Structure 1
Amino acid sequence: MQRISASGGAHRAPVLVQHGITMDGMSWMLNSPEESLPFILVGKGFDVWFGNTRGTKWSRRHATLNSSSKEYWNWSWDELVEYDFSATVGFVYGKTGQKLHYIGHSLGTLVALASLSEGKMVEKLRCAALLSPIAYLNHMTGLIGVLGAFSFMGEAIALLGPEEFNVKLPKIMKWLTMTPFCHNRNTNCLEDLINIITGENCCLDGMTMEHFLRYEPQPTSMRNMEHLAQISRNGVLAKYNYGNPMQNMQQYGMVTPPLYNLENISRNISLFFSYGGKDCLSDTIDVTHLLEKLKNHDSDKLTVHFVKEFGHADFVMGTSVKENVYNALVTFLNHQ
């Protein structure tokens, strides 16, 4: 984890920001300082902490395993829900002695929603702000959605092995260049990567893209990608499906994976949702389905914010994200 705080940080309200898929904590600072969420929050008097999902540059170590081993990558976002969310929230709470604000983007929203549905860390949070929320992915049209819809992820995993998904690795780059998803093969697909995964974004400038290509994308596990594809293909928010009733029975005590029931999220926790009309990962139809699951949430604890022209990456790196999203987000945080 990393931390940015001004003087008097011990007395400032802590905020934990958690990145999305194939990104890391650095992704929040690829934009100009005036548009980067951490610097905005510090300027508004918050104590800012960054999570870095396992397998990314800043989170590659393990008590017993090496990142070159298959066993190291034997996880999906189920493990992020079961272990990592509680560990990071608990760490910030223990260091500051205060309840914290949580801000997640993309995968960071999925992990939070699933964790909250199982009652994890509710007592240590003031609120959760979810940018480009993903939970139900039936209408996702990016790379993960296409793979899920055509059941192609299973073939890719059989080809590449159940290990690291890192687009900068030669074997995965070779696979990408052989698919319809890569349009600019002369640059090894990296310049197309954001559009490959997220769809078109309205407000990314050249300097931000240069920073992105320098620091991102980050690795995740092949199983994590497969699990996301399962959600897209099956239309339910469920734990990882091992594809074998016996294995599922051994893991879960049932032949099909159990569901995460978002209706179990405490009605007392304040939630902020911000989503875009051009987002092909957090599709508006799927967000509507997600919000329907929260229809019994206390109305004064639920804030919904919509930006018609925004795509998925705009919520982190868009040149107008402060005006369109972060000002409303800071107002929400200040009322918690």
Structure 2
Amino acid sequence: MAPTELLRLASLSLLLALVVQPHEAYGSTRGSFLSNDGSAAVSGICATSVTIHGYKCQEHEVKTKDGYILSMQRIPERRFEGNGNAGTKKQPILIQHGVLVDGMTWLLNSPLQNLPMILADNGFDVWIANTRGTRFCRKHVSLDSAQPEFWNWSWDELVSFDLPAVFDFVFNQTQQKIHYIGHSLGTLIGLASFSEGHQADTLKSAAFLSPIAYLSHMNTALGMVAAKAFVGEITTWFGVAEFNPKGQKASAFLKRLCNYPGVDCYDLLTAITGKNCCLNFSTVDLFIKNEPQSTATKNMVHLAQTFQNCHKRDL
């Protein structure tokens, strides 16, 4: 996928959810997770996807200044760390996922093929962030995730509250400047924050995967229809509340998009991204059993507005 096409990734996640909707009983391949409505037994990311491979892993909770309680995971050392390295200070790395997924998305491959464990095995202190609204970040000091007020945010709040909270937490725990790795939406909030000088005292470096700054290069029929619909119709369907891509409203909404003139959803992936030479299809099944995750409807609208504004400037 072209690096600036965030909404293609978002649409892919949504449409994969549409395809897998009849098979929700699959659950996770890694264990029991919290459902999108906050129910069911909880087995955290550490227990289901990290410690089972022989790595130490810690679960942490981080409170933002606006009251959201975020889940974080820490892989502090390489697998089977020897006693000779005990007490050695390791360089912290913070990893931030993109839209409609959570920190689990980094861990779908084997230990030799997923980024957190590769980094841990190379001597880094790895921290995995999860944004508000995802399955392990549905708590607030005073709001319930069933309330619309819980979902009254966009990526502006991720820049102003979530990112500073996780940076401060990691820095306070390690007392070292932090390497940052963001993917997709994780790059957008990083760029917005770092360009204004925030986290300057705690940031050591930044690496951006599929970096997002502008969304002017999306040109597939389905992607463009989806972006316009998120601005024009989505609040009619969802209101300012949770956007749950596994829910019935999202399923009906996406089916409607596929009925637009010129949109062919027979091959969903090509319809969204265009021809893609290099996707690892072996991971798709794991992806749809673990993702996508909820976000705020307001967040999707804000992203779509960015696309709309870019195209207006191009006219």
Q: TM-score, normalised by structure 1?
A: 0.63
Contact 2:178 2:204 in 1 (8 A): yes
- Cα displacement string for residues 204-245 of structure 1 (whole angstroms, at most 9, x for unaligned residues): 444411210111011111110100111111129xxxxxxxxx
Q: 2:133 aligns with which of 55, 60, 63?
A: 55
The alpha-carbon deviation at position 198 of structure 1 amounts to 5.1
Q: Which residue of 2 aligns with 1:159?
A: 237
Contact 2:226 2:257 in 1 (8 A): no
Paired letter, 1:16: L
Instruction: Rate the CA distance shift 1:173–1:152 in 2: closer, same or farther, 3 A.
Output: same
Q: Which residue of 2 aligns with 1:65?
A: 143
Q: 1:107 aligns with which of 153, 177, 185?
A: 185
Q: Which residue of 2 aligns with 1:266?
A: none
- Cα displacement string for residues 254-304 of structure 1 (whole angstroms, at most 9, x for unaligned residues): xxxxxxxxxxxxxxxxxxxxxxxxxxxxxxx9xxxxxxxxxxxxxxxxxxx
The alpha-carbon deviation at position 43 of structure 1 amounts to 1.2
Q: Which residue of 2 aligns with 1:183?
A: 265
Structure 2 unaligned spans of 5+:
1-71
Instruction: Rate the CA distance shift 1:222–1:195 in 2: closer, same or farther, 3 A.
Output: farther
Structure 1 unaligned spans of 5+:
185-190, 237-284, 286-336
Please tell me whether residue 75 in structure 1 is matched to residue 150 in structure 2. no
Q: Which residue of 1 aligns with 2:306?
A: 231
C-alpha separation between the residues in 1 aligned to 2:241 and 2:264? 22
The alpha-carbon deviation at position 197 of structure 1 amounts to 5.8
- Cα displacement string for residues 113-168 of structure 1 (whole angstroms, at most 9, x for unaligned residues): 000122111110110100110011112246665434x3652312112212111210
Instruction: Rate the CA distance shift 1:40–1:225 in 2: closer, same or farther, 3 A.
Output: same
Q: Which residue of 2 aligns with 1:2?
A: 73
Q: TM-score, normalised by structure 2?
A: 0.67
Instruction: Rate the CA distance shift 1:175–1:151 in 2: closer, same or farther, 3 A.
Output: closer
Aligned residues: 229
- Cα displacement string for residues 172-225 of structure 1 (whole angstroms, at most 9, x for unaligned residues): 1111112126825xxxxxx94x66665554444444112101110111111101
Q: 1:23 aligns with which of 101, 104, 115?
A: 101
C-alpha separation between the residues in 2 aligned to 1:209 and 1:43? 26
Instruction: Rate the CA distance shift 1:81–1:200 in 2: closer, same or farther, 3 A.
Output: farther
Contact 1:137 1:145 in 2 (8 A): no
Please tell me whether residue 131 in structure 1 is matched to residue 131 in structure 2. no
C-alpha separation between the residues in 1 aligned to 2:110 and 2:270? 21
Paired letter, 2:247: L
The alpha-carbon deviation at position 3 of structure 1 amounts to 1.1
Paired letter, 2:153: W
C-alpha separation between the residues in 2 aligned to 1:74 and 1:128? 29
Q: Which residue of 2 aligns with 1:208?
A: 283
Q: What SS class does the counterpart of residue 101 from structure 1 fall into?
A: strand
Paired letter, 1:155: E
Q: 1:117 aligns with which of 151, 174, 195?
A: 195
Percent identity, aligned pairs only? Answer: 49
